């Protein structure tokens, strides 16, 4: 009881205060008598009145009630469901403000979690037009008033927001999603219900290739049986000539994971083709491929610059996926070795090397920390190691392997500043490496996510 008296806020009470910062989720950080309150849609330097909606031991959550003095960076969010849909968090912040926020987020995370005080973090590389940039849309399907709806989930919920247009998605993909939804409804397809585990259609996925305009539709279903399959395929083909591949993915599990293990091409090609700076890639339904093609080119150019290739270097690309960074680097390197735990991705990488007449790239399936020591025993010495891990960062065994191999340079591409900070700390605390610089790249405008490219050099 004595502890609760120390908390200076109460649920349902109103307080006037000033917003000091933004969290990594994009909520404003206000303080009442030094006690942190997280307030969605509030921006730094704003004078606000908030209402406390939840109180925890060390912080509280508030709702923005009134803005007495707005930030100079506040703008009107153009999306009609901003704040309701959980896809974007920063539409109310000017784009210049978003870029500054992301640079600050990276700088502070490196200091707080990595103890990296003096690292140069460059201004975030942004987009000329930070809208309609996503080349892949994954839309959950539900029902409302016995009709199919397709949209996105509300923030921190499984309640679906019906949405015809998403302002950060490629407009052609939005159009196909809604067209496929209407076609499915015409033939009586029912949406999957995660509570009852009944129904058929779980998600509609659409990919778009920026350079060729080709589109791929993937229907994620609970069962392999798709009623009226032939009619659905015919109607999609007739309405959307740009669709060159129609795929069915079967996910029978009670899970919020989107894709299941079984994938079948219903009609057309297995892949669509895209290009990054003259390098072509065939992309399948399951391929990992960066969702912002304009910024991907900028990110890879920075990775290439950090690798400082003269044509004499051997490069290892850990987490190589379908070979996007590997083949980008192979044009400037003596040889590139790519490793990836997903065998299907490695097969795609090999095909993409052949597609581009690149013969100085070798790909192997397996864990990087297992494959790379084998290469070292075979006499392969890496001058440069490039890593582009998932959000959880590098496996510790891989970090130790890199420290053992001692390449001259490590280029770390990261989609999560927190795990980047952790891994850079491990590499620098060894005494072998120093971080030269970090370049944030805005791959996901209007959201809190930020991609980075970091350069480490051997001391």
Would residue 287 count as lying in a domain? Answer: no
Residue 154 shares a structural domain with residue 244: yes
Catalytic residue among 85, 320, 415, 452: 415
How many domains does the chain fold into? 3
Would residue 58 count as lying in a domain? Answer: yes
Position 163 scores a pLDDT of: 83
Residue 1 above 90 pLDDT?
A: no
* Rounded average pLDDT over 292-315: 97
Residue 266 shares a structural domain with residue 172: yes
Angle ∠(303,305,307) on CA atoms, nearest 5: 70
Residue 359 shares a structural domain with residue 411: yes
Residue 453 shares a structural domain with residue 333: yes
Would residue 409 count as lying in a domain? Answer: yes
Residue 316 shares a structural domain with residue 343: yes
- Read off the pLDDT of residues 108-146 as tens digits, 9 standing for 90 and up: 999 999 999 999 999 999 999 999 999 999 999 999 988
Backbone angles phi, psi at 388, to 5 degrees: -140, 75
Residue 114 shares a structural domain with residue 202: no
Residue 61 above 70 pLDDT?
A: yes
Out of 67-76, 236-245, 284-293, 406-415, which region has the weakest mean confidence (pLDDT)? 284-293
* Rounded average pLDDT over 389-418: 96
Rounded to whole angstroms, how far apart are CA atoms 363 and 407?
A: 19
With a CB cutoff of 8 Å and minimum separation 6, the contacts of 146 are none
Question: What is the number of H-type helices and E-type strands within the chain?
Answer: 10, 22
Residue 219 shares a structural domain with residue 317: no
In angstroms, what CA-CA distances link 203 with 148, 219, 271, 312? Answer: 11, 6, 19, 47
Cβ burial, residue 378 (10 Å; 0-12/13-18/19+):
exposed
Residue 454 shares a structural domain with residue 399: yes
Q: Is 415 considered catalytic here? A: yes
Would residue 31 count as lying in a domain? Answer: yes
Domain extent, residue 19, equals 2-69
Region class of 69: left (phi > 0), else alpha (psi between -120 and 50), else beta: beta
Strand arrangement of the beta sheet that strand 314-318 belongs to: 120-121, 433-441, 451-458, 409-414, 384-387, 314-318, 335-340, 361-365
User: Which H or E element spans position 201?
Assistant: strand 201-208
Residue 121 shares a structural domain with residue 162: no
**Which pLDDT band, with edges at 50, 70 and 90, does 3 fall under?**
very low
Rounded to whole angstroms, how far apart are CA atoms 67 and 16?
A: 10
**Which pLDDT band, with edges at 50, 70 and 90, does 5 fall under?**
low
Position 146 scores a pLDDT of: 87
Residue 345 shares a structural domain with residue 425: yes
Rounded to whole angstroms, how far apart are CA atoms 67 and 453?
A: 37
Would residue 122 count as lying in a domain? Answer: yes
Residue 323 shares a structural domain with residue 299: yes
Q: pTM to 2 decimals? A: 0.93
The domain spanning residue 153 has which CATH number? 2.40.50.1070
């Amino acid at each position: 009881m004595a502890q609760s008296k120390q908390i200076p806020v109460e649920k349902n009470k109103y307080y006037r205060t000033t917003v000091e910062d933004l969290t990594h989720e994009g909520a404003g950080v206000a303080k009442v008598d030094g006690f942190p309150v997280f307030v969605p849609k509030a921006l730094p330097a704003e004078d606000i009145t908030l209402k406390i909606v939840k109180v925890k031991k060390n912080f509280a959550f508030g709702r923005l009630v009134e803005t007495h003095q707005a930030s100079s960076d506040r703008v009107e969010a153009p999306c009609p469901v901003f704040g309701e849909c959980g896809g974007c968090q920063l539409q109310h912040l000017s784009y210049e403000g978003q870029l500054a926020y992301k640079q600050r987020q990276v700088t502070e995370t490196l200091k707080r979690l990595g103890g990296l005080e003096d690292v140069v973090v460059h201004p975030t590389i942004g987009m000329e037009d930070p809208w309609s940039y996503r080349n892949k849309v994954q839309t959950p399907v539900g029902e409302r008033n016995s009709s199919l709806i397709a949209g996105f989930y509300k923030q921190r919920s499984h309640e679906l927001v019906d949405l015809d247009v998403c302002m950060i998605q490629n407009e052609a993909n939005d159009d196909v999603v809604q067209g496929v939804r209407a076609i499915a409804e015409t033939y009586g397809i029912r949406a999957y219900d995660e509570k009852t585990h009944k129904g058929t259609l779980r998600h509609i996925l659409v990919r778009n290739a920026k350079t060729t305009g080709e589109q791929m539709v993937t229907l994620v279903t609970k069962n392999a049986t798709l009623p009226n399959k032939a009619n659905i395929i015919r109607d999609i083909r007739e309405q959307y000539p740009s669709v060159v591949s129609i795929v069915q993915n079967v996910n029978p599990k009670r899970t919020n994971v989107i894709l299941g293990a079984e994938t079948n091409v219903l009609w057309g090609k297995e892949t669509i083709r895209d290009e990054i700076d003259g390098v072509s890639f065939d992309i399948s339904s399951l391929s990992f491929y960066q969702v912002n093609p304009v910024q991907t080119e900028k990110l890879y150019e920075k990775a290439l610059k950090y690798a400082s290739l003269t044509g004499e270097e051997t490069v290892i690309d850990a987490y190589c996926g379908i070979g996007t960074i590997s083949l980008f680097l192979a044009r400037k390197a003596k040889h590139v070795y790519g490793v990836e735990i997903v065998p299907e991705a490695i097969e795609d990488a090999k095909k993409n090397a052949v597609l581009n007449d690149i013969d100085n790239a070798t790909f192997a399936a397996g864990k990087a920390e297992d494959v790379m020591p084998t290469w070292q025993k075979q006499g392969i010495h890496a001058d440069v190691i490039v890593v582009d891990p998932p959000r959880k960062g590098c496996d510790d065994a891989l970090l130790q392997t890199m420290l053992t191999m001692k390449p001259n340079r490590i280029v770390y591409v990261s989609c999560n500043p927190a795990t980047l900070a952790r891994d850079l700390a491990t590499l620098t605390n060894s005494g072998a490496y120093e971080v030269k610089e970090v370049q944030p790249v805005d791959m996901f405008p209007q959201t809190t996510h930020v991609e980075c490219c970091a350069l480490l050099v051997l001391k």
